[in-house]
Amino acid sequence: MVGEHMETIKLDSWKAVSNYIDKGFWQPAPTYFEHIVQRNTYYPPHAFSKGQLASKSWLLKELNTSVVDPAFEISLRNGVVGLSDPTVAILGCWIGTMVHSLHQHFTIERIYGIDKDPESIEKSETLNRDFVQDGWKYKGVTHDVDLLDCSDMHFETGGELINCKPDWIINTSCEHMSTLWFDSIDEDQLVIMQTNNSEEFAGHINPVDSIQDMQQMYPLKDTIYVGEMITPAYTRFMQIGHK
Radius of gyration of the chain, Cα coordinates, nearest whole angstrom:
17
pTM confidence score: 0.90
Smallest CA-to-CA distance from 210 within 231, 233, 227 is with 227
Q: Mean pLDDT over residues 54-64, rounded?
A: 93
- Reduced to 3 states, what is the DSSP secondary structure of residue 195? strand
Burial class (CB in 10 A: 0-12, 13-18, 19+), 6: middle
- Asked whether residue 122 carries a pLDDT value surpassing 80, the answer given is yes
Neighbours of 99 (CB within 10 A): 26
Q: Helix 14-22 crosses helix 50-66 at what angle (to 10 degrees)?
A: 40
Q: Mean pLDDT over residues 197-214, rounded?
A: 83
pLDDT digits (tens, 9 = 90+) for 20-56: 999 887 777 778 878 988 888 999 998 999 999 999 9
Query: What is the spatial distance between Cα 82 and Cα 59, in angstroms, rounded to a whole number?
Result: 18
What's the mean per-residue pLDDT of the chain?
88
Encode 184-210: b = buried (16+ Cβ within 10 Å), e = exposed: bbeeebbbbbbbbbeeeeeebeebbee
**pLDDT in the model for residue 80:** 42
Q: What is the DSSP code (8-state) at residue 81?
A: B
Q: 33 and 26 in contact (C-beta within 8 Å)?
A: no
Higher pLDDT, 81 or 41: 41
**Could you give the percent of the chain with pLDDT greater than 90?**
71
Q: Mean pLDDT over residues 118-132, rounded?
A: 97
If residue 196 lies in a helix (H) or strand (E), which one and from where to where? Answer: strand 190-196
Query: What is the spatial distance between Cα 194 and Cα 237, in angstroms, rounded to a whole number?
Result: 5
Q: Mean pLDDT over residues 223-238, rounded?
A: 94
Residue at 188: amino acid letter: D
Per-residue confidence at 83, pLDDT binned at 50, 70, 90?
low
